[in-house]
Structure 1
Amino acid sequence: MISMKRMYAAFLILLNLSVFAQTPVDNTLYAHALKAPKTTDVKLLARYLSSGPIKSEAKTVETFFYWIAQNIAYDTVLFKKGTIMEEDVTVAKTLKNKKSVCAGYSQLLLELCNAAQIECLIIEGTARYYNMGPNGAGHAWNAVKINGKWELIDTTWGSGYLDDTGKFKKHLDLKYFLADPEFMIIEHFPNDHAWQLMEKPVSSTVFDGKEWEEKRLRLFYNLTDDDAYATYKQRMKQAKTAPKTKKSI
């Protein structure tokens, strides 16, 4: 649990597409999540969501992901508060107010999984998107053990983004459900390197370096192949100006 820390969340705008494949929406599970009872009882909610037509750990967690994306908004007021206390991000408060920050999102998924007897934990670390600056921002996401294998999930980034005015916009993004570790490490750096889930973990020096910033640029602008990237660099060189991003934290 994240307590008494200044926490931030970085959101991807809709233009941030990826060559990494994402799971297609399961319309049956999505519809099941939409019909969930209105409750602040996390165990009751988990019981309903896990009673869907397809019984498996992966499908249960996928239904949790849908429900969170459907119902929990990013709390921009709490975000602007700066210092976020443990009591600000309890599951009870998140379910009551239907909004939170990354600590609340990750805590909610943790408790839903616990109620369904699915192993889950919260990962704390740094989020850093293209042109953000040298330090990144504190962030929290989850690891969930499904069929004996640890998987990465970011319900905050998978639920929406902040527009240019700082207003939260809901947008389901399944790239952050059972995310490819090679995709996650581009913009997510866990404090415990083991939770990169990479055979060869990336060092903080590499994550902060020029090569990784180039990866973030290519991800941000959807430069999926070398030719597209070369064309982009030539265009920027001719313009003699650095591109400006509109991401929010």
Structure 2
Amino acid sequence: MIVKKFVFIILFINVVFLNTAIAQKDIAVDNIIKKYPKSFNTTEKLAERIQKDFSSEYDKARAIFTWLALNMSYDTKTFLNPPNPKVFTFKNNSDRDKQIQDYEQEMIKKAFRTQRGVCEDFSRLYAHIGVLVGLKVQIIQGDAKTLLNDIGRKRLYSNHAWNIVKIDGKWCLVDVTWGEGYFDYSRKAAIKHFKPIYFDMDPKYFFAKHFPDSGNYLNFKLSKETYLNGPLIYDKMMEGDYEILSPESGVILAKEGEKLFFKIRNLSEFNNISCTNENGERFEISNLKEENNILEFEVLYKKNKGRFITFYRYQNALASFKIIAK
């Protein structure tokens, strides 16, 4: 038993040191990028600067992410009033491909010049600049979960775009759009707020909020049902590396007055956990206890409190669940 504990401690220390080293590397790259001009005449000029300052694939991939996230702005007008899809008239497949390629290059130049865009523009730019600095990058389209009503919905939408980039032989997940900030639906406004967690994000978190059109990631089939029925998790959940162990679904069936049981790994601050409905009214939390770095507690369900419950730590949202009355 002592040997097992010792091995666990060694592994834990190694993980902590590894995460610290990666964080320090990211900060070093970000600090260099923050000194870059806010705009460049061409994507080639930005790529040349990145090539000059960074040699590793990881640093180049991070540098592109950080520059775009810091200097691009989300195009609220286009998001709220999307233009009609581009229609191509072509003679043959070769002509079609040429027209699509020319159109995408035009969109890349426009987004880079205006420094505004929606997710398609962010992902196109990331891929384009990535190729210029010698990286392998792909654009992925799929579904994104951002709202309470996304919990437990029945179908997928193709409403978002992101990237995967190959770094030292490993494909990494990148969402520059969400790294730039977020959209406040209550104010119908884009809020600029750099969120570095959306670079090289752990797949277990990434695919709780993203689902590719193909339904696959690196030949691994993802579960549509798990994604759609999963809880809505927020940035602080991922930043803290918290993991929901119970319930297994984000959709909970409950009776009036029933106590709902929750278990969350890596969460331990008893006095800083709260739970509210969609209107900000508090739920009663009871039977809090912690064991082996897992916080357990119960929430008393009341029908008049609405359909959703959200957990907070220090008033920062962690995760939301949908309650269906039995």
Query: For this structure pair, what is the TM-score category when the shorter chain's length is used for normalisation?
Result: 0.7 to 0.9
C-alpha separation between the residues in 2 aligned to 1:167 and 1:49?
31
Q: Which residue of 2 aligns with 1:121?
A: 138
Q: Which residue of 1 aligns with 2:173?
A: 152
Specify which of 218, 226, 232 is matched with residue 206 of structure 1: 226
TM-score, normalized by length of structure 1? 0.75
C-alpha separation between the residues in 1 aligned to 2:236 and 2:126?
30
Q: Which moved more, 1:116-125 or 1:236-245?
A: 236-245
The Cα of 1:104 is off from its aligned counterpart by 0.2
C-alpha separation between the residues in 2 aligned to 1:238 and 1:204?
29
The Cα of 1:244 is off from its aligned counterpart by 7.8
Q: Which residue of 2 aligns with 1:47?
A: 48
**After superposition, where does 1:50-199 map in structure 2 within 5 Å?**
50-52=51-53, 54-83=54-83, 85=85, 90-133=107-150, 134=153, 135=155, 137=157, 138-163=159-184, 164-195=186-217, 197=218
Specify which of 306, 314, 317 is matched with residue 241 of structure 1: 306
- The SS at the match of 1:113 is helix
For the structure 1 residues 221 and 236, does the alpha-carbon distance in structure 2 shift closer, same or farther, using more than 3 Å as the test?
A: farther
For the structure 1 residues 40 and 95, does the alpha-carbon distance in structure 2 shift closer, same or farther, using more than 3 Å as the test?
A: farther
AA partner of residue 128 (structure 1):
K
The Cα of 1:177 is off from its aligned counterpart by 0.4
C-alpha separation between the residues in 1 aligned to 2:107 and 2:129?
13
C-alpha separation between the residues in 2 aligned to 1:174 and 1:239?
39
Tell whether the 8 Å contact from 1:36 to 1:49 is kept in structure 2 after alignment. Answer: no
For the structure 1 residues 27 and 59, does the alpha-carbon distance in structure 2 shift closer, same or farther, using more than 3 Å as the test?
A: same
Higher fraction of strand: 2
C-alpha separation between the residues in 2 aligned to 1:162 and 1:178?
21
Structure 2 unmatched runs, 5+: 1-18, 87-102, 245-262, 265-272, 276-283, 286-296, 311-316, 318-326
Tell whether the 8 Å contact from 2:47 to 2:129 is kept in structure 1 after alignment. Answer: yes
1:106-141 deviation per Cα after TM superposition (whole angstroms, max 9, x unaligned):
000000111011000100111113523324651100
1:125-182 deviation per Cα after TM superposition (whole angstroms, max 9, x unaligned):
1111352332465110001011111111000011101234122222121221011111
Q: What is the CA RMSD across the aligned residues, in angstroms?
A: 3.2
C-alpha separation between the residues in 2 aligned to 1:81 and 1:111?
26
Q: Which residue of 2 aligns with 1:3?
A: none
- The SS at the match of 1:90 is helix
AA partner of residue 48 (structure 2):
R
Tell whether the 8 Å contact from 1:129 to 1:136 is kept in structure 2 after alignment. Answer: no
Q: Which residue of 1 aligns with 2:96?
A: none
**After superposition, where does 1:8-23 map in structure 2 within 5 Å?**
none
AA partner of residue 195 (structure 2):
D
- The SS at the match of 1:122 is strand
For the structure 1 residues 121 and 59, does the alpha-carbon distance in structure 2 shift closer, same or farther, using more than 3 Å as the test?
A: same
C-alpha separation between the residues in 1 aligned to 2:171 and 2:201?
11
For the structure 1 residues 224 and 206, does the alpha-carbon distance in structure 2 shift closer, same or farther, using more than 3 Å as the test?
A: closer
For the structure 1 residues 55 and 76, does the alpha-carbon distance in structure 2 shift closer, same or farther, using more than 3 Å as the test?
A: same
Bigger radius of gyration, 1 or 2? 2
Structure 1 unmatched runs, 5+: 1-20
- Runs of 4 or more off by more than 4 Å in structure 1? 84-89, 218-225, 227-230
C-alpha separation between the residues in 1 aligned to 2:117 and 2:82?
13
For the structure 1 residues 172 and 236, does the alpha-carbon distance in structure 2 shift closer, same or farther, using more than 3 Å as the test?
A: farther
The Cα of 1:85 is off from its aligned counterpart by 4.5
TM-score, normalized by length of structure 2? 0.58
Q: Which residue of 2 aligns with 1:8?
A: none
The Cα of 1:192 is off from its aligned counterpart by 1.6
**Is the aligned partner of 1:34 residue 2:54?**
no
Higher RCO (CA-CA < 8 Å; seq separation 6+): 1
The Cα of 1:186 is off from its aligned counterpart by 0.3
C-alpha separation between the residues in 2 aligned to 1:116 and 1:35?
19
C-alpha separation between the residues in 2 aligned to 1:220 and 1:39?
31
Q: Which moved more, 1:184-193 or 1:166-175?
A: 166-175
